[in-house]
Amino acid sequence: MATIAFFPEGAYGPTNNCVGIGDVLRRRGHRVVFIVEESFAGTLEAQGFEERLMRLTLPPLEEEVPGQFWKDFIRDTAPVFRQPTIEQLAGFIAPTFQALVDGAKFVDERLHEIIGELEPDVIVEDNVVGFAALPACGRPWARIVSCNPTEVRDPDVPPPFSGYSAADRSQWERYWDAYRDAHADLHADFSAFCEDRGAPPLPELEFMFESPWLNMVVYPDEVDYARARPLGGTWHNLQTSVRATDGPYGVEEGSGPLLYLSLGSLGSADVDLMRTLIAELADGPCRVIVSKGPQHDQLELASNMVGAEFLPQTSILPQVDLVITHGGNNTVTESLFFGKPMVVLPLFWDQYDNAQRVHDTGFGVRLDTYGHTREQLTGAIDRLLADDGLKARLASVSTRLQAVPGTEKAAGLIEALASGEGRT
């Protein structure tokens, strides 16, 4: 039996991704421990995992809820989401990286303590900034990229967070210049910190380390990018990582297509946007299941809708006809896993890249999140539901992905690393 420590970012997306893989490893007899923020205390234990707690900031004066830091951060910066992505670099992306870097510095000593106590055979992390303690601790560690793969740079892949098409490079150089201007000083400071703490320097303009042992991306081939430089031998594409830990969900009988509306735990905190979407879908021919999120008590659903604060997404997706999503990587890849078309309304981070990729590959429609009309939303839904060719394509994709679950593949790769295979 190996001890596997999972260290996901303090948000539900990366955490759920790791839960799916950890569940497989646990069922195979391994000890699985989650290193999580104190606000998540008890969340993983409730699912049968061990927890080790840490903080990325000083303790708050009031009790936190899971991921509260990022919910507050998104709420305070939400006006920036109405700007073009190149303008969001200074107003949102750079401040986000600053907050993440500050957290990585703050928690470094605590991570060393936890790693020393657990003595894990493998540490598996799913974050968007590096943590110096991992490469410095001398133990094998694996990286999961559960964001859009633009996070892994390549000359033929659009810039990260841009939402630009791979088929149109006209704005790439201008965006990259703005990206450098926004992040150069922070990158230099964080790289120096990592070296001071015993880790290697960061790659140019990247805030994340590549593991010398094992790196995994989560993106189906049908939507993945063609690269000028293929990823090296330590890299593996899991295709999807769909957890099997969600409880069942029973859908009431009814007529008309069934839609699922979810903007994720962070996006759904934008009450005005959620109310707009609810009004646009109200009393139409479609039934709608709504993931209401943390501000659930401020949302009133229409007569053709049901919903709750939290919903078992992977139990709902097989039963619906179409997904309206913010474009988070989990929801996009899970929708493809279950063969569902998407209307994508991106808000921040890699959601723009996912939205554009879904649009470019024909598996859904990207709309202007704040600028679309009701007719544009309902028209996109009608077109996608009526497209028999798309239904056939999605059915084929779903069959392929479900034949080789990414959680099983990831577990096998992690087991091999824990047993000593592939170590240098």
DSSP string, 311-374: --HHHHGGG-SEEEE---HHHHHHHHHTT--EEE---STTHHHHHHHHHHTTSEEE--TTT--H
Measured in residues, the chain has a length of 424
DSSP per-residue codes, 235-288 = EEE-S----S-PPP-PPPP-SS-EEEEE-HHHHTT-HHHHHHHHHHHTTSSSEE
* CA separation, residue 376 to residues 252, 301, 345, 369 (Å): 28, 21, 12, 11
Q: Determine the Cα–Cα distance for residues 413 and 406; give it in Å rounded to an integer.
A: 11
User: What is the sign, positive or negative, of the torsion defined by CA atoms of 190, 192, 197, 199?
Assistant: positive
Sheet (strand 214-217) strand order: 50-54, 31-37, 3-8, 122-126, 141-145, 214-217, 235-237
Residue at token pair 């060393």: 112
- Across 129-168, the runs of DSSP E, i.e. the strands, are 141-145
Scanning 28-169, the segments in alpha helix (DSSP H) are: 68-77, 85-88, 94-106, 108-118, 133-136
* Token pair in block for residue 68: 């509260």
Number of H helices, E strands in the chain: 15, 13
Using DSSP's 3-state secondary structure scheme, residue 87 falls into helix
Average pLDDT of each block of 10 consecutive residues along the chain (424 residues)?
93 87 96 92 92 86 63 70 92 92 96 96 96 96 96 96 97 97 97 97 94 97 96 95 88 90 84 92 93 83 91 94 96 97 95 98 97 96 97 98 96 95 58
Q: Where are the domains of the chain?
A: 3-239+405-418, 258-403
**Residue 360 pLDDT:** 98
Give the residues across from 32 on adjacent strands: 4
Q: Determine the Cα–Cα distance for residues 415 and 32; give it in Å rounded to an integer.
A: 12
Q: Determine the Cα–Cα distance for residues 263 and 331; give it in Å rounded to an integer.
A: 9
Give the residues across from 216 on adjacent strands: 144, 236
Q: Determine the Cα–Cα distance for residues 4 and 23; give it in Å rounded to an integer.
A: 11
Query: Percent helix, strand, coil in the chain (nearest 5)?
Result: 45, 15, 40
Q: Determine the Cα–Cα distance for residues 284 and 307; give it in Å rounded to an integer.
A: 16
* Token pair in block for residue 405: 């679950």
Query: Contact, 213 vs 123, CB < 8 A?
Result: no
**3-239+405-418 and 258-403 share one CATH topology?**
yes
**Residue 168 pLDDT:** 97
Q: Determine the Cα–Cα distance for residues 76 and 85; give it in Å rounded to an integer.
A: 17
Q: Determine the Cα–Cα distance for residues 395 and 182; give it in Å rounded to an integer.
A: 42
User: pTM to 2 decimals?
Assistant: 0.92
The CATH number assigned to the domain with range 3-239+405-418 reads 3.40.50.2000
AA identity, residue 153 = R
According to CATH, the superfamily of the domain at 258-403 is: Glycogen Phosphorylase B; (3.40.50.2000)
